Amino acid sequence: MIQIRDEIASDVAAREHLLDACFGPSRVLKTSQRLREGRLPARGLALSAVRDEKLVGTVRLWDVETGCGRPALLLGPLAVDPALQGAGLGGSLMREILGRAAAYGHGAVLLVGDAPYYARFGFAQAKADALYMPGPFERERFLGLELKAGALAGAEGVLRATGAFEALPEVAAEAAAAAARRRAA
């Protein structure tokens, strides 16, 4: 049985391994990555699919803003273990994360991906046609979805990241040490 749940810290190594398997190591050169690096995913919007304690799927959403100041989420990467592709897990991850995003009050989701796949969830190129990624991107793969009617109407300009910053490793290590000291006290 496959469970979809919030991503936890111990998923990270397996998630990165899965993404390398699905997209290859050059994935880190994509412009989408520029909007994610150094940031945390949007609150409550990083999911893992797990089967028998093995990570078999991942999807995350990231806070961004359009050039005209409109908030949105950037989706990606979405990936499913190659051994399980075509069995509906990608769809389940998409429906779960889009449902959560809507429940948290977000208005719009953008992504760069295969239009024939994402169209089934309502994504369309027309919703992003006045928007730009902050680097090279394929226009026909840049798609938008409104979770609230009109959330992308008139949206234009270059996307920029607005998510919370990830803690630097040394800051995170110091916070963990301080927490351990507090527990021991």
Which residues of this protein are in contact with ligand COA, per CB under 6 A? 22-23, 78-80, 85-91, 113-114, 116-117
CB of 171 to ligand COA, least distance (A): 33
Question: Which residues contact residue 121 at a Cβ distance below 8 angstroms, ignoring those fewer than 6 apart?
Answer: 91, 94, 95, 98, 145
CB of 5 to ligand COA, least distance (A): 17
Closer CB to ligand COA, 142 or 151, in the complex: 142
CB of 129 to ligand COA, least distance (A): 19
Closer CB to ligand COA, 23 or 132, in the complex: 23
Closer CB to ligand COA, 86 or 136, in the complex: 86
Closest residue to ligand COA, judged by C-beta, is 90
CB of 76 to ligand COA, least distance (A): 7
CA torsion angle for 123, 84, 57, 138 (degrees, to 10)?
Answer: -40
Taking a C-beta distance cutoff of 8 angstroms, is the pair 31, 39 a contact? no
Closer CB to ligand COA, 70 or 143, in the complex: 143
